[in-house]
Structures are given as structure tokens and as C-alpha cells.
Amino acid sequence: MKVGIIGAGAAGLAAAYDLALAGIEVVVYEKASFVGGQASTFDVESTPLERGYHHLFTSDTDILSLMTEIGLADRMEWHESKVGIFYGGKIFNLVTPMDLLKFSPLSIIDRIRMGLVTMILKTKTDWKALENVTTDEWIKTWAGKRVYEVVWGPLLRGKFGDRHYKEIGMPWFWGKIHTRFASRGKSMAKELLGYPKGSFGEIFDTLAKRIESMGGKVKLSTGVKKIIIKEGKAVGLLIESDSDPKREFTETFDAILSTTPSFVFPKLVPKMPKEYENRLTKVQYMSAVLIILILDRPLTNVYWLNVADRSIPFVGLIEHTNMIDSSLYGDKHIVYLSNYLNIDHPLYKMDHKQLLAEYLPHIKKINADFNESWIVKTYYHKVGAAQPIIGVNYSQRIPDHRTPFERLYLANTTQIYPEDRGTNYSVRMGREVSKLLLKDYSLAK
């Protein structure tokens, strides 16, 4: 059996690894010149760094198990998280119950209410009961207007923008609270966040090497232009590669797994049956836009800062070197300024220079001493299809991994539910779909 996989992100590589382990011949096609997809890295001071900030929670057991299987268990390091919120011109720590009790922008009653609501969500296992309500309505009703305005409303708006923040189904927020609390000890006094010693890049590079050592292939800078369908069955791929002398060629396969975003997938097949296509195209995505500042000194003392100040044009400030030692990056300090945007948003349309110029004046609001002379270098990255926008009652509309075409499978972040997207869940999904594919194939034989 020979399987073609489109995409060398977490899902595609995890699936390819399991298929190769099962003795299947796999070829992974990746249009980018690197593996890792959204969790890919580039070099800063000769050390790999994610294009978009990344960490793991202790509950991310699927990716942690895979790391153990491929010999990377000892590469994982756990760090006490420092999470804060910027509100009213000040940074407030917001990790422990004690931090919440000291959070003066809320009245004592609201602080207690926020704590209680968090505990209710943490202990609630029946997420289905929350499916028919939006996060926006639920928080306003249960946590109250003030908690919404100060803390969770800005978070929601930041992640989904003004256009979509009212649509998000409550399982998204339930999942966020669950994963965050699962990463705290019983005492809740601290939260642990994981980061692999050699970056997330090491996980994906090792997976690619393992796949190749079992006879599989991972072909970079090689995009798939079409999935060839004959009599309702996926039989091959039309491939485009800069490095291949033929540039465009076809390969035949017994089964194909695509890990492309939902809006890309229908364009790869001749004619997608309407019902399935609607399930795909109804889910829109936010894109992530990141400016990375390489500084000669620290900017804040928190790792993750939610910016709840609407006068500031970015919604997250993630100071990577407040989790990972700056000595790894030549003693430079690394700060991501992050936004999730629709592609028609004015900030999305700005180039590196314009966006940096837009952001810089606002950094002084967070640290009054900040001076542009601290900046050694800046980078700019855009990650398309970064965050699917999942509305209410999504369990009734989620697209199946088995597509309407025989032997053609889809595994992308819109199929992760009720949890939110994340490397852990893409690994889990890739592994589940490889099992599904093997089962179907042996039944069809």
C-alpha cells in the first residue's frame, strides 16, 4: 500500500510516522521549504525559534507520548508560567487564586465571581451541555458584565476580532479553562508550561528523519496542485516541485490524506459534493500576524501578557525569554507582538515596516522606559488559517475525516473539537486518521 500525504505539519507527520511504522510506503508533500507548518521554526542567533510563540501544557499527552516514542522525552522542559494582563496602564499577574484576589480592576465581588465561574468550568465535564450557547453570552450571564469587559471580553475579541467574537461556541472557552487548569498542580499555586530544549522544530525534524529511516519520503518545496479522482476514488496526485526537473508530475497512490485548511481542500478535487463542501467552507479562519522583536534587554517580567487595552493595536505580548533562558539566543530577549486578524483587516494588509511603525509607539505604554535603541532586529511572520472560527452546535456540522471520495481523508484543525487547535491535537488527529485509513484499507481488500 502506498499513501500520499499533503502537508508536513504536526498532523501530516504524525500520520506518516504511524503509517510507516505499520509498514506502509508513505510520501509527504510539503509546499513550504521546511517541516512543522504552523509550529515551524527559523533561526534567531543560530537557535531555532517558532514563527509564532509555542508552548505545551502538561495535559498535552499525545504529543508528549510521541516525543517519548521518538526518543525526545528528555528534551522536554517545564517552566513555571508568568501570565499577566495589561489593564488601565498596569501589568497585573494573573496565574494563581492569590493573583486574582489582588486584581484591583475588579471589585472583590467580581473577583470572587470570576474565581467561582472558573472553578465551575474546570469541574464541568459535560461540554455538550454548553454547545448551544456562545462564549460571549455565557461569560456575560455567569461571570457578569464587569468581568467580561475587563478580562475575558478583550481575550475573545483579541482571538476572533470584532467581526467574529460574538459567534464563538462555548466549548472553545470551556476547553481553554480545562487545558490551563490541567497544567496546574492540585494547589493551583502555579502553572507549568512545556518547551522542548531544541524547540518544536526538533520534534518535526526528528519525525521526518524517522519516517525516512523507515523508507518513507518527506518532500519539501513540493506542493500538491490536484488530487486525481477516478470513478469516485482518489488515485493519485498532481505535484508541482521547483527542485524536480519535470516541475509538474503525477504520482499514483492507494490512499491520500490531506492536512490542508478547509478552504484549500475543495480546490484540490474536481468537484466536491455540496453537503461536504458546505461543512468545509462554512468554517472561516483568523490569520495570525506576528512581529518579533529581538531586544538587547528584557521588556517585561511576564511570559504571556494579554493586552486588554483597546488603544493598543496588538492583543498579545509574549516574551519568550521570560520562559526560556536568553543565553540560548546570544543573550538577546525575544518578544512576539501578536494579532489574530481577518485578511481584509487594515493591519493584515500592512507590510513589516508599516506594522512595526504602527506598533512601536504603543510599547512605551507597557514599559515607559522602552527605547527603540533596545531593538537589535525585528522579524515579521504571517500564519494563514491559524485559528478556525467555531460557532455553536458544531458537533452537528463537523466534517468527517472520511471524505465523500473513497480513499481520500482530511485531517485539519477544524476537525479538532471540543478542544481548540494545538500541536497536541493535530498529533492525536493524525494518528487517529492513520488508524482509520488502515482499517478501511484492510476492510476493502
Binding ligand FAD (rule: CB under 6 A), the pick from 27, 41, 55, 409 is 55
Dist CA 169 CA 236 (whole Å): 37
Q: Are 389 and 167 in contact (CB under 8 A)?
A: yes
Does the footprint of ligand FAD cover residue 426 (CB under 6 A)?
yes
Binding ligand FAD (rule: CB under 6 A), the pick from 386, 389, 392, 410 is 386
Pick between residue 68 and residue 132 the one whose CB is nearest to ligand FAD: 68
Q: Are 20 and 27 in contact (CB under 8 A)?
A: no
CA end-to-end distance (rounded Å), the chain: 11
Give counts: helices (H), strands (E), the chain.
14, 20
Q: Where are the alpha helices (DSSP H) in 22-152?
A: 61-69, 97-101, 108-123, 135-143, 145-147
Binding mask 262-301 for ligand FAD (x = CB under 6 A): --x-----------------------x-------------
Does the footprint of ligand FAD cover residue 306 (CB under 6 A)?
no
- 3-state SS class at 199: helix
Does the footprint of ligand FAD cover residue 194 (CB under 6 A)?
no
Dist CA 374 CA 131 (whole Å): 47
Does the footprint of ligand FAD cover residue 37 (CB under 6 A)?
yes
Does the footprint of ligand FAD cover residue 82 (CB under 6 A)?
no
Binding ligand FAD (rule: CB under 6 A), the pick from 1, 32, 133, 192 is 32
Shortest Cβ 80–ligand FAD spacing (Å): 16
> In which region does residue 401 sit, left (phi positive, over 0), alpha (psi from -120 to 50) or beta (all else)?
alpha
- 3-state SS class at 290: strand
Shortest Cβ 31–ligand FAD spacing (Å): 4
Pick between residue 180 and residue 332 the one whose CB is nearest to ligand FAD: 180
Residues in 7-26 that interact with ligand FAD by CB under 6 A: 7-12
Pick between residue 300 and residue 413 the one whose CB is nearest to ligand FAD: 413
Pick between residue 263 and residue 441 the one whose CB is nearest to ligand FAD: 263
Coarse DSSP helix, strand, coil percentages of the chain, rounded to the nearest 5 percent: 40, 25, 35
Does the footprint of ligand FAD cover residue 423 (CB under 6 A)?
yes
Shortest Cβ 225–ligand FAD spacing (Å): 7
> Cα-atom radius of gyration of the chain, to the nearest Å?
22
Dist CA 272 CA 253 (whole Å): 19
Shortest Cβ 55–ligand FAD spacing (Å): 5
Chain positions contacting ligand FAD, by CB under 6 A: 6-12, 29-32, 37-39, 52-56, 223-224, 259-260, 264, 288, 383, 386, 412-413, 421-424, 426
